[in-house]
Structure 1
Amino acid sequence: MTDLAAQIAALEAEHEALALDRFDVDVAWSIGSWLRQRAATETLPIAIQVALPGCPVFSALLPGASPDNLAWIERKRNVVERFWESSLLTTLRCEALGTTLTAKFRLDETRFVHSGGGVAVRLSALGGIAGSVIVSGLSQREDHALAVAAIEAEKGKQATRHNGV
């Protein structure tokens, strides 16, 4: 298995493992707040967005990030909502074919971006996606990892509540 194939397989497994029991406006705000707090603590120059499909719920621009990061967020969210998976996974699938996302699917580069940082929020009992968590301002892999960490933190909170702890 090639390194790229292994990365794709790992991202596919991660996608399956990230399902939440619940995702609504309150959960979106909780995830966004967690991300904003971590970014502030670590002085990360990022923009953050947590959204229901087509509907941003939480948005923040931290010091050092720029309005350009907000444009990247919109383009990453469009990828997540079109392909129902992380923008990094979609990007790597295209790279494995020797192309880019925008070239393969003939997408408008002003609306879609060949870059990681947008992660689909899935529900355990639902096919498709319930929303997205998007980060912009670091490398595409760091953006992705930060969004995943926020979803994992929320998943842990939900598991604790579910188990009555």
Structure 2
Amino acid sequence: MQALIARVQEQERRLVLPRFTHDDAWALGTLLVGTARERRLPVTVDITRGQQQLFHAALEGTAAHNDVWIARKVATVRELGCSSFLAGLQARARGEVFEDAPWIDAARMAGHGGAFPLTVAGVGVVGTLTVSGLPQAEDHALAVEALEAFLAQL
């Protein structure tokens, strides 16, 4: 568990953007959707900057409930400043269930993988990249893979 936590923390330290514009959101979102379509993955993809949704796409095999999961995962990133996967992993490492913590509103937040903080160098967390539809570790991995590919293009 600790090795996985360290790997996710390293991803969050490493995957920092030089900027994040509306055009960047479109490019990142279409890159991720293209990857998901090639693999025939039933995912919903969401990108925000601040409170504004800049990109949203639901692929075949998804449902409105994926949007509920996205909202809960995004709320976790906004509240804690780390990926929703890391938040859940850290709770489990303490022997706790993230949603059972007294300061967590389980109807509003989720410690499940898929929402990754979009961090701009010198600024901090400015938004979220979220995937919903796969098992949580796979949602997280797909978001990380897309962000790595996007950064490689800059």
Q: TM class, shorter-chain normalised?
A: over 0.9
Displaced runs of 4 or more, over 3 A: none
Aligned equivalent of 2:48 = 51
Aligned equivalent of 2:68 = 71
Aligned equivalent of 1:135 = 131
Following TM superposition, by how much is the alpha carbon of 1:110 offset from its aligned partner in structure 2, in angstroms?
1.5
Q: Pick the aligned partner of 1:87 from 60, 84, 88.
A: 84
Partners of 1:108 and 1:55 in 2: how far apart?
A: 22
- Residue correspondence of structure 1 range 10-159 to structure 2 within 5 A: 10-126=7-123, 128-158=124-154
Contact 2:100 2:106 in 1 (8 A): no
TM-score, normalised with respect to structure 2: 0.96
Following TM superposition, by how much is the alpha carbon of 1:105 offset from its aligned partner in structure 2, in angstroms?
4.5
Structure showing greater Rg: 1
Structure 1: runs of 5+ lacking an equivalent? 159-165
Following TM superposition, by how much is the alpha carbon of 1:29 offset from its aligned partner in structure 2, in angstroms?
1.1
Partners of 1:53 and 1:74 in 2: how far apart?
A: 13
Structure 2: runs of 5+ lacking an equivalent? none
Following TM superposition, by how much is the alpha carbon of 1:43 offset from its aligned partner in structure 2, in angstroms?
0.8
| Equivalent residue pairs, number | 154
- Matched to 1:113, the amino acid is A
Q: Deviations over 1:130-152 (max 9, x none)?
A: 11100000010100011111111
Q: Give the aligned CA root-mean-square deviation in angstroms.
A: 1.1
Partners of 2:87 and 2:148 in 1: how far apart?
A: 20
Partners of 1:105 and 1:82 in 2: how far apart?
A: 14
Partners of 1:105 and 1:57 in 2: how far apart?
A: 32
> Would you tell me which structure has more strand in proportion to its own residues?
2
TM-score, normalised with respect to structure 1: 0.89
Following TM superposition, by how much is the alpha carbon of 1:50 offset from its aligned partner in structure 2, in angstroms?
0.7
Aligned equivalent of 1:163 = none
Partners of 1:28 and 1:121 in 2: how far apart?
A: 10
- Matched to 1:15, the amino acid is E
Q: Deviations over 1:10-67 (max 9, x none)?
A: 1111110000111121111111111111111111101110111221110011000111
Partners of 1:24 and 1:105 in 2: how far apart?
A: 36
Partners of 1:141 and 1:123 in 2: how far apart?
A: 24
